[in-house]
A and B are shown apart, each in its own frame.
Chain A
């Protein structure tokens, strides 16, 4: 009946065309009309995507097994591993795409952490990145080139930090990272452009460290994950519909366990939203995970109790500056991290370098926008750079950008795993600047948690949410 309703419309346009212009060119019109008719018929037959009411293809589906909030590298990695580790099944996922910080990252990967779990995460991630074309291969698509520069990381330590660095390197070596300690003498020999004043010890990662192109990893993951059947959608999570149960623990105290039933996803630039019914929600929203957690009701309660423990992840703005310096260090420059917190690395082959510095607590910039403060470079970054590498006195700043860290104010390490009270929300966030390099491994860990109920390959139990309530910090000392 609807098809016949459309015939008069065509008839009218044909008539108008006939009256308006009688030029030649009606033959291509005929072909166009025929293919239009064919397309319409094909869409109506079973299997086509014809919706008689209105087109809702921009909305997420009404139902999904797992909803991953956050479409950056961590969210995509979780989706990839969920699809890869499932015994073959068709669990659908929906990704709610919010603003991702991934592509704004500097892109370094290192194993020089002090917490053993971080080292293991990086080690797996580098193995993933080295074999990226085996993991993320899609039929008929070109292979990925993440432009991995294995130049290593060079962490410099002053007198105060030398002992800590030694113990860290011991832990790293135990986990299997290849790191060597260098004295200032050896430093000067290997890197003549360095000014070793104030440096007591340096640790140099010899293998599996360097930097790569985060955008390429993101694209590769997105492509692969789409080919595995994950659904993407753009939008913003505005609400969680959940239900609570009052239960008693074994010791008799009352807890209220919550369960999320629906996620309301609002479409951009519109008031329209779609309730997505789901079984599991994964919070991989990066810098905005704190807001998402608040929407789910995490942290609503008297402070000091488990209900009142918020997710301590907030966005922190960090600047990255690019400069040009023809007399700078050569092609084998590692990713240098100064004891003052300034870091830089080589970028490309044209004597460009990029770097930055984490501001202290007092001078934290306002995370409301991504505007870059150039005075910060002049006042804080350049002097330290020039002091460490004398050639950088004559650098010329080219460009800069700002990105967000999903900064975990508690202990600057990631939060992975389920929430004890909101039963079906899993976290994969709060990595405070080293999320990109741990993304593949974290994705696998979260997927194992969802599918098997416990961590199998890398045990990330120190990173569970309950440490915020119990006060057990997993302090990472090597944070930039």
Chain B
């Protein structure tokens, strides 16, 4: 009986605490973007496109900013079979240009503008920025391995042919073989740009998503 009595006591205590906390201020972040016109100037999107983008953005993140959790959650909905959290993390780092742990609508739209409406050099720069995890201007083998692992993780377990553990590493090797011209173990931005601009496939695929919006 004593145990039962104790539990009811604890319950009332918790309830009291809940009531008390209601009096405190709720700290929700509410962020509004700058005016539509300013965004039209800053990005290469038209007014209508920005409107559509913002509506979708605000629908999923009513508070106006995306934090990493929501970002990962949204991205994982598109890849049900694998684990996209690592790649989403890298993406988040690339989108979060101010490094404050959240992506506001401006960050979002500016990055999208580069990806979708930028020149080929801008796009390649953005991709390089994504791969360069510590933003030091060159891609090391470890950074590329992390990226590659995250991409392969998105495939999940059920693939054909069976995913070997060495598959990402092999891919990294082939990437470095292609990109690293002076064989110094890192890929600099110049090497990256040079190699990509010479590769037909990459050039073509960079333009593939231009009409996504």
Do chains A and B interact in one complex?
no
Interfacial residues, chain B to chain A (CB-CB below 8 A): none
Interfacial residues, chain A to chain B (CB-CB below 8 A): none
